[in-house]
Amino acid sequence: MTERKDDRLWGGRFEREPNVRFDAFQRSFAFDRRLLPYEIAVDRAWAKALEPMGVLTATEVKQTLAALDKIAERAKNDPAWVDSFGANAEDVHHFVEKALVEELGPLGWKLHTSRSRNELIATDFRLFVIDAAAEIQRGVEALLNAFLTQAKASLDVPMPGMTHMQHAQPILLSHFLLAHAEAFTRDVTRLQHAAASADACPMGSGALAGNSFGVDRYAIARELGFSRITANSLDAVSDRDFALDYLFALTGIATHLSRLAEDFVLFASQDFSYAILPDEYSTGSSLMPQKKNPDSWELIRGKSGRITGALLGLLTTLKGLPTSYQRDLQEDKEALFAAHDQVADMLAVATGALASTKFNADRLRAAASNPVLLATEAADYLVRKDIPFRQAHDIVGKVLREAEKHGVSFIALPLEKLKQISTAFEADFSKSLSLDAALSAKKVPGGTAPESVRAAIADLEARLNRKTIKTGAKP
Ligand code: ARG
């Protein structure tokens, strides 16, 4: 057997060593070492596949599997070994081959028969995305449970619902909380879509053209837990749509968290005073002793930028790439790993902060009790007296103007005054208008009436338990 000069995965056709700066530039072990457990799982499946292909004997398969297990074990228990042994590994594939050769001698060089790092990295990365999406889904479900707990505890707390940041109509605080929750249920659907998109095994695609040893692609896919194989070898080594799908799902979560954060930052401000920030999720000012700042929410809002950035970065990398594997694709990992880690943290902090937030029920109720929020109900009253809505709207506008002139609430105007504006007003008018009546009236499914909100809570709870989180009941 000819001895190899160095332990690179390539180099036979090169006369000179790579430029030192370039060599550092092209290496990826510093970040793709994170894929080591997946790489080893793929290696195990590949070792088994090499026996029917006539490349490894049964004994060699056994030896290779034992060595791979040993490497996996050591890497798990001894990260310092990964640091030192991996110091001159080009990438995660090179690391395992080096370790395998150290364990097995030249037998270790057989594992890479008829396969390419191009298919390996695509396979490892898909397996990572599938697990990552499941982890983030658990994070979103924890957040949804925090929403449910708060929503159940807030069923008797009304608040002013707003549009254009102007007080509009009363709603229940629970309804507001469930509005945010609903957005996160859509994120679960997107995460599941990303995982499904990653769920196809590229092994057997080779560098780009396929495999000439007749590898059983289905057996490898099954062994790795994939439910499908990729359909086209050229596409398989160049496709990163599963990574885009995952980043899009993460961007959705980050965007929803950022909007939630904005609401809570406002609610905690003195002007609103709707929510009391938990000490555990707030920080103080180095100068102003009275300050308690909503930094947890501000950082969540702030960090959403880098998640969107990761998505845009990968879209930009992919745009204009020729079909097939290109080294540019190595740039798919760092930002995705970082986005995943950040979203995991953002979700954990948001869940903790939400769960420990106390709402100022008195203040919310007082703000919701402004009779002006019942103006639409007043128009509806006239509609029930057979006035066309556009006219009713106009009449109530006049009533509000009249009340403003006298500096009183419009429901306090005497009946004679009201009748001067419209004869449709009767003695039951002022009694028919109340915060509770306005809330109870909205009893359509999806509305803010207490009974609808209770049903929405039960529905979300059931969806969470069934793990089929899809929005909306069928008509
Ligand atoms: N580090 C590479 C990546 O992340 C692995 C595949 C390398 N393939 C190659 N032909 N150099 O994409």
How many Å apart are CA 43 and CA 28, to the nearest integer? 19
Q: How far is the CA of 121 from the centre of ligand 1 (A)?
A: 7
Q: Is 233 a catalytic residue?
A: no
- Decide if 140 contacts 253 (C-beta within 8 A): yes
Q: Which domains does the chain have, with CATH numbers?
A: 19-113 (1.10.275.10), 118-366 (1.20.200.10), 375-433 (1.10.40.30)
Measure Cα distances from 114 to 46, 64, 295, 311 in Å.
10, 16, 53, 33
Winning range, highest mean pLDDT, from 3-17, 126-140, 275-289: 126-140
Q: What is the pLDDT of residue 471?
A: 57
Q: Is 285 a catalytic residue?
A: yes
pLDDT digits (tens, 9 = 90+) for 382-437: 999 999 999 999 999 999 999 999 999 999 999 999 999 999 999 999 889 999 99
Return the ∠ at Cα 113 (arms to 109 and 118), rounded to 5°.
105
Q: What is the pLDDT of residue 33?
A: 98
- Tell me the average pLDDT across 112-117: 96
How many Å apart are CA 322 and CA 115, to the nearest integer? 21
- CB of residue 115 inside a 6 A radius of ligand 1: no
How many Å apart are CA 278 and CA 231, to the nearest integer? 52
Can you say how many angstroms the Cα of residue 112 is from the centroid of all Cα atoms in its chain? 36
pLDDT digits (tens, 9 = 90+) for 332-373: 999 999 999 999 999 999 999 999 999 999 999 999 999 999
- CB of residue 448 inside a 6 A radius of ligand 1: no
- Decide if 186 contacts 255 (C-beta within 8 A): no
Q: How far is the CA of 117 from the centre of ligand 1 (A)?
A: 6
Instruction: Report helix angle 117-153 to 241-268, nearest 10.
Output: 30
Q: In the block, which residue shows the tokens 């803010």?
A: 448
Q: What is the pLDDT of residue 1?
A: 44
pLDDT digits (tens, 9 = 90+) for 301-326: 999 999 999 999 999 999 999 999 99
Q: By percentage, how much of the chain surpasses pLDDT 70? A: 97
Can you say how many angstroms the Cα of residue 182 is from the centroid of all Cα atoms in its chain? 13
- Tell me the average pLDDT across 100-120: 97
Does an H or E element contain 448, and which? none
Q: By percentage, how much of the chain surpasses pLDDT 90? A: 91
Does an H or E element contain 166, and which? strand 166-172
The secondary structure of residue 442, as a DSSP letter, is -
Q: In this model, does residue 470 exceed pLDDT 80?
A: no
Q: How far is the CA of 322 from the centre of ligand 1 (A)?
A: 16
- CB of residue 121 inside a 6 A radius of ligand 1: yes
Q: In this model, does residue 90 exceed pLDDT 80?
A: yes
Residue tagged active-site, from 164, 258, 434, 440: 164
pLDDT digits (tens, 9 = 90+) for 240-282: 999 999 999 999 999 999 999 999 999 999 999 999 999 999 8
Q: In this model, does residue 142 exceed pLDDT 70?
A: yes
pLDDT digits (tens, 9 = 90+) for 173-210: 999 999 999 999 999 999 999 999 999 999 999 999 99
- CB of residue 91 inside a 6 A radius of ligand 1: yes
- Tell me the average pLDDT across 138-160: 98
Cβ neighbours for 283, distance < 8 A, ≥ 6 positions apart? 292, 293, 295
- Decide if 422 contacts 403 (C-beta within 8 A): no
Best CA proximity match to 329, nearest among 117, 164, 14: 117
Best CA proximity match to 130, nearest among 30, 222, 245: 245
Q: Band of the pLDDT at 376, cuts 50, 70, 90?
A: very high
- CB of residue 28 inside a 6 A radius of ligand 1: yes
pLDDT digits (tens, 9 = 90+) for 32-51: 999 999 999 999 999 999 99
Query: In degrees rounded to 5, what are phi and psi of residue 430?
Result: -65, -35
How many Å apart are CA 433 and CA 333, to the nearest integer? 59
- Decide if 336 contacts 247 (C-beta within 8 A): yes
Ligand 1 atom at minimum distance from 91 CA: 1
Q: What is the pLDDT of residue 275?
A: 97
- Tell me the average pLDDT across 163-177: 97
Q: What is the pLDDT of residue 8?
A: 79
Paired strand residues for 159: 171
pLDDT digits (tens, 9 = 90+) for 277-290: 999 998 888 888 88
Q: In the block, which residue shows the tokens 């919310």?
A: 364
